Every structure is written in C-alpha cells, then in structure tokens.
Amino acid sequence: MAKLKYQTPTGMHDVLPQDQIYFQKISKTIEKFFDFYGFERIDTPILESAELFNRSVGINTDIVEKEMYILKTREGKDPLALRPEGTAPIMRAYLEHGFNTYPQPVKLWYHGPFFRHERPQAGRYRQFWQFGCEVLGDKESIVDAQTIIIAYNILNDLGINNCLVRINSIGDENCRGEYRKALIKFLKSKKNSFCRDCTRRAKTNPLRVLDCKNEKCREVLNEAPQIVDYLCEDCKNHLKGVLEYLEELKIPFTLDPFLVRGLDYYTRTVFEIEAPINEEEGEGVLAGGGRYDILSKVLGKANIPACGFAAGIERIVTVMRARKVEGVYSSPSKVFISQIGPLAKKKGLAIFEELRKAGIKATESFSRDSLKAQLSKANKLNIHTVIIIGQKEALKDMVIIRDMETGKQSEVGIKDMVKEIKTRLR
C-alpha cells in the first residue's frame, strides 16, 4: 500500500483511545495525590521566550544546544521556544505573579506536553507528556525528601512497585567550583581515553562527562574524583538530612556519585527514579528532579530556594502495559435506545437527551434502521434494558421497554419512562 502522505511528524505520536485508558489512569492518580499533598495546578503556555531556557537550563546543555524547537514570531521579536521542560516556566510564573508574597512554600503541579528535538528511539519522543510538581520558597531537606516520596508513591500507585531511587548531591555555588577544578584536572590527565562527546563536554560542561553511557568512558570515570568528597558543610548536612528522611520512610535508594542530570539549574540534591525493565521496553528512567536554589537568581531575582520533579508519561505507560496494569475504562451504558421509522428517530433523539439529564448512561444506533440489527448491537454490548420506539408508539408518546434477558416487554408513557428505568436498574 502506498505510504500516506500526511503522518505524525517524526518522533511524535497520537495518543489513541487504547493509550487514553492509561493516560486517564495517570491523570486521575496524580490529581488525587497532588491534592492530598497540598499542591495547586498550574498551566503555563506551550511557548515561552527561548532566552528563558537558554539562561536556566543552560546554553551548554543538550536541550538548549540541540533539542529546542525555536519559532520566529511575525513581529520579529525575540524568538520563542516550544517548552522543553516545565521548571523554568514555573519559576518564571512564580516571579511574574509575585508568588513570593504568598505564604511559603508555594506548591504547584502540572501535566502536559513538552518538546525536545531528540533522536527518536524507544522511550524518547520529540513531543512527550510529563507530569510534575515544584515546591518553591523552601530550602529544607525535608522538601527534597517529600518530593522524592511523592514521585515514588505515585509510581507505586500506578502499579510500578519496585522502583529504585538514585540520588546524589552536586553541591552549590560554594563547593561546586572546587570540585569542577578537580574534575577538569582529572579529565585533562585522561584526555585521550574519552569518546568524542565527552572530549567536547570536558570543555563546555565537564560535569556532564560523568553520566556518559559509553563503556570505555565509564571505566575511566571510575577513578574520577567524587563530588561527595568536595561538598561544603551545609551541602553535606543537607544531603544527610534527605537520606535520613528517605530511610525513615523505607524508600529504597542508592547514592550515585555519577548522577548529575542534564540541566544546569540544579544545586545540591539531584535524583532519578527508574523501573528495572528490560531494554526492549524502553528507557528505564521514569522520573527525575532535584533542587534548584539558584534558578531564580539566574532569572534576575533574589534567591528562591526550590525543589521538584517531573515524570515521563509515555515511559510510565510502557511499563504499565508490560506489567499488565489495568487502565481506566469508561463506564458501560445501561440502556440502549432503538427506533423504527423517521418519527421514532426524532423521539429517540429526545429520549436520549432525557436519559442524559437523568444521569442514566445510554447508547444508540440511530443510523441503523432494522430493529434486529439494533437489538443485536444491544446484545453485543451486554445491555439488558432496551427502549424500543416505533411509529405507533411515537404517535402515542409511548415507548416499549424490553428486558433482554427474559425477552419480556412492557409499554410505558414517555413521561414515566425515566422513573420506570430507574426502578429497573436498581
């Protein structure tokens, strides 16, 4: 068959009804969780100033260097970007709307599509869905721990119950400089041992070398200095606090000295949560996040300490499917309306509306004319109560109610129909 001319753009996908049963389940679960934990929903625009991401995510990150969709505007003003992530827009909104004058912390959650021009592969899309939350205006380590706990518990509730949290601290403005120097020295001493990407990153964003997946690089990196050995007293205590809270709640975690994350705004805690799935099922990292105490300063305002996470919905759905977790199906219809003849069709349409107003879920097959075909559809849908309206009934403002199990039929006036059906459904 000839290839269709118009298809979804590379790396983008339709969320079809068979996917929606999982997307719906995730929506319902996160709404319940974020409400319980005292978060309020925020939606920011899909488009933001590209400069917002250049400054916050960082010009030497993959996202800004290679993955942003940039749009020129008709007015020729500063370019806009399809949002590649949600944290910078939320900090922008916090500052723009003066949320610093509200009781702190401000707790916000979000859910929507994001865009990164990545090389498409399993678990990596160019338009993907995330949900996430941000706690703004609080510097305490208990916030970091609770952020991790929320992400972990949501995944657990979605049937992904053996996740592992990897956690690290990447220090702050006080101590990261020292570490960076030590790391650069180490990278220089091994300069011929790394892949091309790492050699480039060693100059532009040395910390990112740490999370290279290339096996040869990994071997060399095992000897690299570790940031935990360079943390200042405050950062050390902060990390200790987070880990103690996690232990208290028995959240399984491992300290991963190579975890640095691909966004520049992080300070102190960074973490990722992964499900142990095999490679065929796609990327294992379901959620990632951390603390970003310097982001507000980068955007030109006084320090607003903050922490949050985001989770990738497609990746979660992949795991839910692999583990045969049930999605959310819409509730079945209770009543089937069948009609014979043009007048009955008109009355049938009005009856359908009446049932909707009465809160009785009904279905029909208005475009079919044969009663046999309509009853057979009701049978297929396993609906026991069928309303039949023909020309004769329509003229008398009556309907026939048929019990599909017993085959018994009785006539009632349209005005008493809802009451009669409610009694039968009880």
Show the tokens assigned to 260.
């640095």
CB 350: neighbour CB atoms within 10 A? 9
- Looking at 158-224, list the stretches that DSSP marks H as alpha helix, in order from N- to C-terminal side: 176-189, 196-204, 215-221
Interface pick for ligand HAM out of 105, 137, 171, 289 (rule CB under 6 A): 289
**Residue 56 or 338: which CB sits closer to ligand HAM?**
56
3-state helix, strand, coil in the chain (%, to 5): 45, 20, 35
Which residue is at the shortest CB distance from ligand HAM? 312
- Contact flag: residue 305 with ligand HAM (CB under 6 A): no
Q: Find out whether 398 and 413 touch, Cβ atoms under 8 Å.
A: yes
Asked if 171 and 231 count as a contact pair (C-beta separation under 8 A), the reply is yes
Our finding on whether 171 is near ligand HAM (CB under 6 A) is no
Tokens coding 306: 């903050």
Residue range at the interface with ligand HAM (CB under 6 A); choices 37-45, 185-193, 312-320, 397-405: 312-320
Pick from 12, 47, 182, 285 the residue near ligand HAM by CB under 6 A: 285
Instruction: Rule CB under 6 A: say whether 288 interacts with ligand HAM.
Output: yes
291 and 307 in contact (C-beta within 8 Å)? Answer: yes
The DSSP element (H or E) to which 84 belongs, if any, is none
Please count the residues of this chain forming the interface with ligand HAM, following the rule CB under 6 A. Answer: 26
The residues, ordered by sequence, that sit 6+ positions from 95 with a Cβ below 8 Å of its Cβ are 296, 299, 301, 304
One residue of 314, 335, 351, 378 binding ligand HAM per CB under 6 A: 314
Give CA angle at 124 (204, 222), nearest 5°.
45
Q: Classify residue 187 as exposed, middle or buried by CB count within 10 Å of its CB (0-12, 13-18, 19+).
A: buried
Nearer to ligand HAM, 258 or 352 (CB): 258
287/335 with CB nearer ligand HAM: 287
CA-based R_g, the chain, Å: 29
Q: Binding to ligand HAM by residue 130, rule CB under 6 A?
A: yes
Tell me which residues in 374-413 interact with ligand HAM (CB under 6 A).
none
CB nearer to ligand HAM: pick between 34 and 309: 309
197 interacts with ligand HAM by CB under 6 A: no
Which listed range, 43-51, 129-137, 331-339, 418-426, lies at the site for ligand HAM (CB under 6 A)?
Answer: 129-137
Q: Distance (Å, rounded) from C-alpha 5 to C-alpha 26?
A: 33
For residues 11 and 125, is the Cβ–Cβ distance under 8 A? yes
Q: How far is CA 46 from the centre of its chain?
A: 15
Residue 84 vs 348, nearer CB to ligand HAM: 84
* Nearest distance in Å: CB 289, ligand HAM: 4
For residue 379, give every residue at least 6 positions away whose Cβ sits within 8 Å of its Cβ, in sequence order, or none.
404
Candidate ranges 215-223, 248-256, 303-311, 358-366; the one touching ligand HAM (CB under 6 A): 303-311
How far CA 29 is from CA of 44, 108, 250, 313, 316, in Å, comes to: 21, 16, 22, 12, 13
* Interface segment toward ligand HAM; rule CB under 6 A; list 212-220, 304-312, 358-366, 368-376: 304-312
Decide: is 144 part of the binding site for ligand HAM (CB under 6 A): no
The pattern of x and - marking residues 72 through 111 that bind ligand HAM according to CB under 6 A reads -------------xxx------------------------
Q: Which residues pair with 136 in a beta bridge?
A: 106, 306
Q: Which stretch binds ligand HAM (CB under 6 A): 152-160, 192-200, 286-294, 390-398?
A: 286-294
| Residue placing its CB nearer to ligand HAM in the complex, 154 or 401 | 154
Q: Which residues bind ligand HAM (CB under 6 A)?
A: 85-87, 116, 118, 123-125, 128, 130, 132, 134, 285-290, 292, 308-312, 314-315
